[in-house]
Amino acid sequence: MYKKILVPLDGSELAEYALPHIKKLVKSGFSGEVTLLKVFWVDYPEFRNLHGHPGYVELRKRAENEARQYLSDIKDDLRAGGIQADIALLEGNRPASLISDYAQNAKIDLILIATRGYTGRIGIDPGSGKKMMLGSVAIKVLHEACVPVLLIRTESCLER
């Protein structure tokens, strides 16, 4: 059993393909606690050296509020299905490192993250295989995290 599962989300529909899997894990008794995590970052060249500038502060606050609302909506959807979840927001431009560090500091047992999976053929022959195209954040989390990482292939979800 994985007592604590972390589900990083970036606001995309593809990332949300992890949600049905978390529902299955919780309903099957494989998890007790779920944390939904979103990393947000405000990067406008004109504000790079002006973090105290009122315009930057307003943009940052808006980005944080949008991220919080996004996670709250998903949390409410999970709650409607009988699943309790916490939310966490992190700010920074290195999401994979932030996710990995958060997992270690929060004593997370499993990170469940969606990825694009396999796409595109290598060569013309049917047996030549496929090329792996993992989302850059997902592959970095896989390599950086000190806890198990469960990758959910969105391509297979889209085909069903």
> What's the pLDDT at 134?
47
Sheet of 31-40, strands arranged across: 86-91, 31-40, 2-8, 110-115, 149-153
The model scores a pTM over 0.85: no
> What's the pLDDT at 46?
62
User: For the domain 2-159, what is the CATH superfamily, name and number?
Assistant: HUPs (3.40.50.620)
Q: Which residues are within 8 A (CB) of 21 and not within 5 positions of it... i.e. 6 or more apart?
A: 112, 150, 152
The pair phi, psi for residue 54, each rounded to 5°, is -55, -35
> What's the pLDDT at 54?
74
Q: 10-residue block means of pLDDT along the chain (160 residues)?
A: 93 92 91 93 69 76 95 97 96 94 97 72 40 67 95 68
**Domain residue spans of the chain:** 2-159
> What's the pLDDT at 56?
76
Write down the residue that tokens 């996670």 correspond to: 71
